[in-house]
Amino acid sequence: MCTLESERLILRPPRPMDIQSMTVWLSDYDVARMTARVPHPYGEGDAEAFVAAGSANRFVIERKRDGVFLGMTGLDVDEGCEFGYWLGKPFWGQGYATEAAHRLALFAFESLGLESLHAGWFHDNPASGHVLAKLGARHNGSQMRDCRARGMQILCHDMLLTRANFLRKQAA
């Protein structure tokens, strides 16, 4: 597992010391309900199981200047190259999601040699849609998708990010 850096962030593999922060941020319903796979309530056992699984290409988003755990981002190559991210509520609206997603996409295209990625955003989370659009992602359809925290299906917009569109956006 590698560590990635951007201007303000370090993206690194999760460690047992992250369990408490993961539990605090993901136990907030407002955070969990914007993800597809996070249950609510989210407990320490959920975080322990996640860290123990040690999946590749999942990263803690840590602020460089003080080492604060902000959230997580990751890429699931087995699920059609789907990527995602979440941040603790105090860190919303500060550009961290865009910066982390940008660094993850750069890693996917440059280091893993992928040609495209996709990500979804629930209809009531337009901020996530804006993050994806800033990277160069384009709308690729909409469908109902399970949301574990809400216990129901929610309208989800799928976004496709190609290497070409990402590089074009970077050059602009």
**CATH entry 3.40.50.2300 includes domain 4-171:** no
Mean pLDDT to the nearest integer, 96-111 = 96
pLDDT for 30 beyond 80: yes
Return the pLDDT at 69: 98
Nearest to 76 by CA among 56, 60, 59: 56
Q: Which amino acid is at 21?
A: S
Please name the residue that has the structure tokens 């370090």.
10
Q: How many whole angstroms separate alpha carbon 164 and alpha carbon 31?
A: 31
pLDDT tens-digit profile of 34-61? 999 999 999 999 999 999 988 889 999 9
Residue 79 confidence (pLDDT) above 80: no
Q: Which amino acid is at 22?
A: M
Residues 6+ apart with CB under 8 A from 83: 73, 74, 75, 76, 101, 104, 105, 108, 117, 118, 119
108 pLDDT higher than 80: yes
Domain boundaries, the chain: 4-171
pTM value is 0.95
